[in-house]
Amino acid sequence: MRVLCVAEKPSIAKAVAGHLSGGDVQTHNTPEKYIKNYVFDYDFGRPWGKCKVTMTSVLGHLTTAEFPPEYKKWDYPPPDHLFDAPVNVVVAADKTKVADNIEKQARYANALCIWTDCDREGEHIGYEICEAARKGNRTLDIKRAKFSNIERAHIINASKNLITLDHKQVNAVASRIELDLRIGYAFTRFLTNSLRTLGGPFQNLLLSYGSCQFPTLGFVVDRYFRVRNFKPEPFWGIKVMHKREGIDVNFNWARHRLFDRAAVIILYERCLTAKTAKVTKVQEKPTKKWKPLPLTTVELQKMATRFLRMTGQQAMETAEGLYNKGFISYPRTETDRFDPGMNLRALVQKQTQSHAWGEFAQNLVDGRFQQPRQGRNDDKAHPPIHPITFAAPSVLNEQEKKIYEFVVRRFLACCSEDAKGVATDIDITYGEESFHAHGVVVLERNYLEVYVFDSSHGCQRDWNRRHYGRAHPKDSGKRLRSDRAQN
C-alpha cells in the first residue's frame, strides 16, 4: 500500500519523515525549490499496516478566494453589490507547483494522510490538500494526524491514531475567508471612492479596510489621543528614610500623595517636630514568588520588547526561524498549560549539555523537577513555546541566541520550584502620620537561579537581595524626605 503524507510546512515534513523513517529516508527534489519529497517505509498499524510512504508539504494555504474580473473595477459595481457577488476559490498563482506536486504523487497512492497544524487554519489547509490530491486520484482513503508538537513519541502516537478531517472547522474558516474578502473589498472601495471626490490630498488616496486591521487601528488611535490629551497635575508626598546595619529602609506614606502643597508642608513639619517615630507593627510571614506560566506568543513578544531590545515582529520572525530549524516548538500559540502526556523531563535532559544553564537542568533531572503550573488557556492546537532540542550557540545568530536562551530559561523555570522567602511588614507613626515598609528575605531562589527575567516592576530586585520598600514608577510629583526617624 502506498500512502501520501502532506504537512503544512517543509520543516514539519522533514521532521515527521525523520521520526517515522528512523532516519532511513530517500530525499527527492520537486519543482518547488522549498519543498522536498521524502520516501520511506512505515507501519501505520491498523487499518493501513506496512506502507510505502511519500512525505511532502505545502507552504500554507494552497488556494485563494477572489471575485470574477468584472467585479474588480473601482467604479462599478457599487460596493454593496459585492456582498452578493460570486466568489471563486482557485489555486494561488504562487502555489501551482505545490499543488501539481501533490496531484502527481496522489496518482501513485492508495491513501492520503494530512499532517497540518491542529487548529482551524490547519484543518482548512488539510481540506485544500485533499482537493488537490483528488484531482490526481478520486479513490484515496483520507485520514488526518492530530499532533501539537514534533517530539518523536508524539509523532509516532499521532500516526497510530489517525482521525478524520473536521469539516465543521473547514467550513468555519471558509466562511471567515469569504467574509474577509467581501467586507474588505466593499468597505475599501466605499471609503476610497467617497474620499476621492473631495479632491486635493484625497485625490489619489487608497484607504484599505480589513476586519482586523481597522478595529486595531482604532485602539491605537484612541490610546494615542488619551496620552496626548493627558494633563499632568503636580502632587506632593512624604517618605521616611532610615538606615540601619547598612540597609536603607524606605517607609511609604499611608496617604500616598496630596495635591495641596501647603497641606503637605504642614504635615511634614509636624513629623519633624515629633523627632521620633514609633514602630506600631512588625509582622513576618512565609512568602513565595510563583514561577512563571508556560510561554505563549503574546508573552514572548512582551518579554522580548522589555528585556531583549527586540520588537514584537522581530521576536516572532526569529522564533519562526528557530522553529523551522527544529530548535523550538511552534511559536504561535495561546496555550499556557502543558499536556500531561508530554515528556518534559526528556526535554530538560537535552539542556544539560549547555555551559550556561546545563548545571541547573541537571539538578532538575536529578530530582528537583516540578510539573509546570497550569494556566487557564488552551487553544487545543499547539503546546506552550518550549525548546525541542539543544542548540549550540555556534549555530545561532545574535537574534536567535537571545530568543532561544529566553525560551529555554523560561521552560526550565517552569519545571523548577517557586522561590521561597520571608516577608516583613513594618508600620510606624511619625507624628500623626502613618508609614509602611515591606521587605523580603530570600531563603530559596529556586527558579530564579535560571530565570533572570521578570515581567513585574521591581519584584525581581526584591527577590535578588534583601530589600525594603516597594519600588514605584517614576512620576511627576514631588516627595518631601525625612531621614531623622529613629526606632
Q: Which residues are catalytic?
A: 330
Of all residues in the chain, what percent are helix, strand and coil, respectively (each to 5)? 40, 20, 35
Residue 321: C-alpha distances to residues 163, 186, 399 (Å): 30, 36, 10
Tell me the C-alpha distance between 173 and 99, whole Å. Answer: 20
Tell me the C-alpha distance between 454 and 269, whole Å. Answer: 40
The CA-based angle 29-30-35, given to 5 degrees, is 85
- Comparing CA positions, the residue from 403, 320, 323 lying closest to residue 14 is 323
Tell me the C-alpha distance between 6 and 118, whole Å. Answer: 14
List the grid coordinates of 367: 530530582
CB–CB of 242/483 below 8 Å?
yes
Beta bridge partners of 141: 111
CB–CB of 92/132 below 8 Å?
no
Tell me the C-alpha distance between 209 and 194, whole Å. Answer: 13
Alpha helices in 325-397 (DSSP H): 344-349, 358-363
Q: Quick one: CA dihedral 385, 386, 390, 392, positive or negative?
A: positive
Letter string b/e over residues 219-258, b meaning 16 or more CB atoms within 10 A of that residue's CB: eeeeeeeeeeeeeeeebbbbbbebeeeeeebbbbbeeeeb
List the grid coordinates of 31: 519543482
